[in-house]
Every structure is written in structure tokens, then in C-alpha cells.
Amino acid sequence: MSTVGIDAIRFYTPAFAIRLPDLARARGVDPDKYTIGLGQEVMSIMPPDEDIVTMAAHAALPLITDETKEKIHLLLFATESGVDNSKAAGLWVHNLLHLHPSCRVVELKQACYSATCALQLAHSYLHHHPNEKVLLIASDNARYGLHTAGEPTQGCGAVAMILSASPKLLALEEHQGVVADHVMDFWRPTYRTEAVVDGKYSTKVYLNTLQSCWKSYEQASGRRFEDHARFCYHIPFTRMAEKAHERLSKAASIPFNQEQIEHELIYSRQIGNAYTASLYIGLASLLELDALDLSDKRIGFFSYGSGCVGEFFSGVVPEGYREHLGLSFHKKILDRRATLTIPEYEEFFTYTLKEDGSAQTTPNVSAGPFRLTGVSNHERLYG
């Protein structure tokens, strides 16, 4: 069988952010609770003229060349912040990026997990179509609401990955541990723009699901904790990933080693939660910022989507991976952000599109090549 996996990865986050100590002071909370207790420093903020489509197009743009355009015949769009109940958000991206007309385009949903399901589906697809490439995009806007316990764990971002049968960044391995269970820890009814969440319960379910997934992965693969050089966990906030690693280390009777996860967490501390994209922003962070040469090293991944589905899987980093990373692109994306005051953030957060579909023009605040310019006759307009 050919090797299949991730060939290229780029993420994007909007040009606005708030500092969590500013939010803490505005909410009458000790800033250490957000920076130490939750492990978050900066949170990206979605402006009125961006959404999951513009973020996705911005993330994918640097990966689209004449060669990839010719070879992409499958676009998988993972999100839990859908903008339409029928049309896949990926179709707007397909149009904005002028992708090949012969292309399957679908949207996948299962809270923060669906990008991992897309990755495994693409894995099988590429075994049968080894000369093609797959474009996988995960894009989300994490919204819990102003003045809620979840507010400091919001954020937004998109990640785009080219998957192929000759991957330059990560070769996926056989054997995964998957668990599905009907739990109500976090969900968002179609009539709401913010999630309903039992936050503390969700952290417990996350950790229990991790342990069950690991057990079944360990049994299926025969791999032990020590066979993995690094671990990437889903990152709703970075302390959660640390707790996950503490739990797994304890279960394996191995002393907790922060070095095994530290570099996965660096970008997320500066962005916040990006739901489906978080785990893969973590992978970009690890590959780009870890001083250890990860060539031929195995990484263990835990993907978690409330509701819930969890999956533990693994991949091996090919030699020469450092030549294919997006470090300078990502540095520019993070450094260009303007810091909003808390009232400015609240104004962005409460901006809404009219629900009667009548004509509306969004304020022109984003400088990027793709903007949500407005709505006309129920149709979202991009420019």
C-alpha cells in the first residue's frame, strides 16, 4: 500500500484579537485565571466582514498552484459554524479559488472532530486515487457568548491541508482507536448562534473519551506510549491539552513530560479555540516550532468532538519536512493582528446579519483578499 498523509498545511486567523488579561479585567476576574488556569494569552476575533468561508479561502490560497488545482478533485470542508443548512461552505471556497470543475465538494459536521473524520476518509480515497490530491479545510468561529464561563475559550481560525499519496509532512499510520457516545456536553441548536455547554462536564467527557480511545488504539496497533515522540491533542484551551497529556502519562505510568506537547500549544495560546481547526493548528505549531528534528518520529493524535466522537491515531514525520512548512506565512498572520479594546470586541461580537435575507452591506474592516461584503436576496456575497 502507498503511504498517504499530509503534504502541506497552512492556517489563517482574522486580523483582530483581544488580550485575555484585558478581558479578565473587564469581567472582574483575576487575569491569572485566563493566562494560567486556562493557558490562553490572546484570542482572535471575527470581524463583521469575515466568516468560515473567507477564513477557509485565506488559509487555502497559499496552497493553490497550477499543479494542485489540476489534481484536487475532492474538497472536504469540516465545520460546526455552518452558514447554510443546505449548501456546503466549500462551494464558495471552490468558487473563490477557481478550483477544478470536476471536484466533489461536501461539508462534514461532528463538533470539533469532523476534520479528523475527513482525514481518514481522504486516507481511503487516496489509496484508490493515488495520483490525485485532496483539499481538506477546517474552519470555525468558537462562540459561547459575552459574560459566560466559556467566553475566554472562544477564538476563530481555519486550517487548510493538501493530502496526497506522497506526503511531505505526515504519513498516516494504520490502526486507530475510535469511540462514539451520546452525551450532551456541548451542542448548538440550529436557532442559536452560540453553543450550549456544560463546560466542566465537557472536560470530564473529553478526558474519559481520551482514555477509551487510547485503550482501543493501543490494543489495535500494539504501539505503546513510549513509541510516540510527541503528542497532539484537541485544544479547546491549552490547559486542557496539558491535562490530557497528564491523564495519558499517568495511565501509562510514565512521568509527565511537558516537552512532548509544549510546541503544539504555542499558536493556540495566541489564537484561542478554532474548534475543528484546533488540532491541526497544533500540528503546524509542533512541526514549525519544535527544535527537535522530528524526521522519522511518530506523533500520537487525539481528536475530540463533543456530543461525542473521539479518535486516537498516529502518523510518522518524513525526512525533509522542514522544507515544506509555512513558518513565515504564519508569523505574518499572527503578527499583523490589531488589538481591540473590550467594547470594540463586543461590537464585533454582536454584529449580526439580518434574518429576513434583505440587502445588507457589511462594514469594510478586513484588509485580506476575501471578504463577506454583504447579503442580497438571502444570498451571501463575497468579494
Please choose, out of 26-34, 98-106, 132-140, 262-270, the segment that lies near ligand COA by the rule CB under 6 A: 26-34
User: Catalytic residue at 264?
Assistant: no
User: Catalytic residue at 98?
Assistant: no
String marking each residue 36-55 x if it binds ligand COA according to CB under 6 A? xxx-----------------
- Of the pair 44, 362, the CB lying nearest ligand COA is at 44
Peptide bond into 308 cis (omega under 30): yes
- Within 10 angstroms of residue 246's Cβ, the number of other Cβ atoms is 14
Please choose, out of 133-141, 142-150, 263-271, 279-287, the segment that lies near ligand COA by the rule CB under 6 A: 142-150
Q: How far is CA 229 from the centre of its chain?
A: 22
- Within 10 angstroms of residue 151's Cβ, the number of other Cβ atoms is 19
- Within 10 angstroms of residue 176's Cβ, the number of other Cβ atoms is 20
- Of the pair 201, 382, the CB lying nearest ligand COA is at 201
> What is the spatial distance between Cα 353 and Cα 57, in angstroms, rounded to a whole number?
20
Please choose, out of 4-12, 49-57, 146-154, 355-363, the segment that lies near ligand COA by the rule CB under 6 A: 146-154
> What is the spatial distance between Cα 269 and Cα 266, in angstroms, rounded to a whole number?
5
Helix 199-221 with 238-251: angle, nearest 10 deg: 40
Binding to ligand COA, residues 293-312 (CB under 6 A): 306
Out of 199, 246, 324, 334, the residue judged to bind ligand COA by CB under 6 A? 199
Cell digits of residue 298: 511518530
Contact between residue 112 and residue 305 where contact means Cβ atoms under 8 Å apart: yes
- Of the pair 310, 315, the CB lying nearest ligand COA is at 310
Catalytic residue among 112, 156, 213, 232: 112
Helix 327-335 with 278-289: angle, nearest 10 deg: 120
Cell digits of residue 245: 497529556
Closest approach, Cβ 237 to ligand COA, in A, equals 6
281 binding ligand COA? (CB under 6 A):
no
- Of the pair 33, 336, the CB lying nearest ligand COA is at 33
- Within 10 angstroms of residue 283's Cβ, the number of other Cβ atoms is 25
Binding to ligand COA, residues 204-243 (CB under 6 A): 206, 236-237, 240
- Of the pair 80, 173, the CB lying nearest ligand COA is at 80
- Of the pair 203, 373, the CB lying nearest ligand COA is at 203
DSSP assignments along 147-173, one per residue: TSTTGGG-EEEEEEEEEESS-SSEEE-
> On the CB side of 339, how many CA atoms lie within 13 Å of its CA?
11
Closest approach, Cβ 206 to ligand COA, in A, equals 4
> What is the spatial distance between Cα 275 and Cα 141, in angstroms, rounded to a whole number?
7
197 binding ligand COA? (CB under 6 A):
yes
30 binding ligand COA? (CB under 6 A):
yes
User: Catalytic residue at 80?
Assistant: yes
> What is the spatial distance between Cα 238 and Cα 269, in angstroms, rounded to a whole number?
6
Binding to ligand COA, residues 147-186 (CB under 6 A): 149-150, 153
Catalytic residue among 234, 245, 263, 330: 234
Residues of this chain that interact with ligand COA (CB under 6 A) are 30, 32-33, 36-38, 144, 149-150, 153, 197, 199-200, 202-203, 206, 236-237, 240, 306
Residues with catalytic roles: 80, 112, 234
